[in-house]
Every structure is written in structure tokens, then in C-alpha cells.
Amino acid sequence: MSYGMMIAVQLDKQVEFKSLWNWAKTYMYHASPTHPGYQYFSWQMKSDGTPNDEFSAPDGEEYFAMALYFAAARWGNGEGIYNYKAEADTLTGALKNRAPITDAVVNPYKASGTGTALFNSTNHQVRFSPDQGNITAEGDFTDPSYHLPAFYTLWSRVAPEADRAFWAAAATASRNYFPTSMDATTGLMPDYSNFDGTAKSVSWNAATADYGHDAHRTIMNIAMDWAWLKGDAREPQLVDRLLGFFAAHPSYVARYTLTGTSKATYTSVGQRAMNAVGSLAATNPEAAKPFVQALWDAAPPSGTYRYYDGMLYTFGLLHVSGIYKPYEPK
């Protein structure tokens, strides 16, 4: 939903943006101060608005907040839930400041739980999950593809003033984190990692220590930070490393070990789209051009999994066409 809102604001589609936001606030948002997901959104819903899991996926909240700030800058603020900047201010405040809350929750594994802040206050990094039970069982950890230093830098300029120093520090933390989570030879990153960048396997899926569908997005986050803000001088080299691996592995399968051993036979259009976005930070535009061409030549995703590949495909086209831009509220 938040990806859809970002696409809508980038394409100047106000009606679609409002419709998505209205649905999210009506069915996904937790307004009760006693709910573990208070001020967050259920990460998975049925199309009739029934939740499958009321805990949040933090990248969703990050994109809600950034899309709202961009909407405020591009279209101005309205009343109620359409006062976009006020909504974004509340949400970014909750990402950082939300106190733990324990109560009943809809979740596939338990009937109650404790939700906490989406960011670790000590190291300024985004958590994989605010579910305190998961943190206790698996340890507090992160997801490389959730790190969005370009967003945090913009929040450090427009979010509530009391939180701005934290967001500036979060941007720095993510820029320092990327090199630690990337293999020194292949440039591949894991789906999940510890805060120090080491790969993280979880009890329900050992493959999260590999480069997979979550990790496909990380190169976009690095390249976006460079293209918008020139965030860190190391970013072009990180992009070059990953694109160099895929230039040498044109079969382009969707999952690898971090050292480059293939672990799948299928390919991903979303992965091609994300590597195309890497061209925005590559030091050699000619070497990066085939990755943009691969996206251009790809058919729009269809079928069961089009929701994820389709979002990344659309993001990729918006980025490489120059349409995807930061709109900063005054």
C-alpha cells in the first residue's frame, strides 16, 4: 500500500493516492493506544480488510511516511487524514519513540504480544520487526533492504524538530552499515543481518542469510541515496561491486549465497529493475547501460507474484527515467 502511494505521488495521481491512504487508515492502521501496533499498520491483510497479521513490516511504515511528506510538498495539505505532513510527523515520531505496548493481537503464532519502536535507539538502525517476542527469541536484528538513508536525511530536515538529530544519525548509521553487510568480492547482501552487518539466519528460514528477494532492493536504496543526495562517497564503489558480479553472471538467478553460489533456477523481474537503478550511482555509465536495457526489455510482471516484482519493476522505471524525485515540504 505504501509502495503504491509512493508510485502515485511520483506520477502525480492524487485520486489514487487518496484512495490508497484512505483504505490503509481505515483497515490497516491501529488507532487504539492499547494495541501493540498502535500508530503502525498491519503488514498483511485480506482484500476485505480482515488482518492476517497485525504486526508491522517496518519498510512499509518508512514508505508511508516518505510518501506522505512528498504528497505534502507536491500537493499541499488538506484536512483530517489528508493533512499529509501532520500524518507523516506522527508516524516518524512513532517509528523512533513508541513505547512498548502489550495486548491482544491478530498474529498467526500467538493471541497477544508486545510491540515496540521500529528503530533501535542505541544504534539508530531500523529493526526487522517491532514484535518484542520475535526480538527475544531471535535477537534484535535488521534487514539491509529496510535501510533508507535518503529518507532519513530528508526526515532530518522536515520531521518534528526534536527527532531531527536522530534521523541524521540514522542516515549516517545506514551509510556506514552498507559496506559491513556487503560481501567484499561479490557485493551481495543477505536478506536479514545483525546490526553489525553479519548475515542472519532465523529459526523459520535459514535462507535469510543468503542474497534473495528482500536483498534485491538494497542496491536501489544505495543508488537512490547517491543520486538524490550524494550521501556517501563509498556508494558508487558498492554499486560497481554488485553490478560487476551480475555482469559476470548473466544467468541472473534470484538467489545466491553471499559468495556467489547460485541457489535458485528462476529469475526475478524485480531484481533486474533494482540493478537497473544501480546505474544511477555506477562510476561507468557504459558498463551500467546493459542493466537498464535489461529492465527496458523485461515484460511487465504478471501472475501470482506480480505484486512484489511489479512494484520493483515500476520503481525501477520511475528511477531510471528520472521521474522518481524527492519533494521536500517547506
Q: What pLDDT digit, counting tens, does each position of 29-68 carry?
A: 999 999 999 999 999 999 999 999 999 999 999 999 999 9
Q: Region 142-165: what's the mean pLDDT?
A: 98
Using CA atoms, how far apart are residues 241 and 244, in angstroms rounded to an integer? Answer: 5
Q: For residues 24 and 27, what is the distance between their CA atoms, to the nearest angstrom?
A: 6
Q: Give the model confidence (pLDDT) of 300-324 as tens digits.
A: 999 988 999 999 999 999 999 999 9
Look at residue 330 and tell me whether its pLDDT is greater than 80: no
For the segment 119-145, the average pLDDT, to the nearest whole number, is 97
CA 166, CA 221: separation in Å to the nearest integer?
19
Q: What is the pLDDT of residue 97?
A: 97
* pLDDT tens for each residue of 5-18: 999 999 999 999 99
- The pTM score is 0.97
% the chain with pLDDT above 90:
97
Average pLDDT over every residue of 200-206: 96
Rounded to an integer, the average pLDDT of 81-106 is 98
Q: What are phi and psi of 46, to 5 degrees?
A: -80, 160
pLDDT value for 305: 84
Q: What pLDDT does 252 receive? A: 87
8 Å CB contact between 210 and 255: yes
Cβ(121)–Cβ(96) below 8 Å:
yes
Average pLDDT of every residue of the chain: 97
What is the distance between the alpha carbons of residues 83 and 156, in angstroms, rounded to a whole number?
20
pLDDT over 90 (residue 277)? yes
Displacement of CA 124 from its chain's centroid (Å): 16
All three cell numbers of 248, joined, read 559476470
Confidence (pLDDT) at 284: 95
**Rounded CA separation 224/228 (Å):** 6
Mean pLDDT to the nearest integer, 276-285: 97
CA distance 309 to 139: 29
d(CA 23, CA 145) in angstroms, rounded, equals 25
pLDDT at residue 157 greater than cutoff 80: yes
pLDDT at 299: 94
Separation of alpha carbons 269 and 246, rounded Å: 14
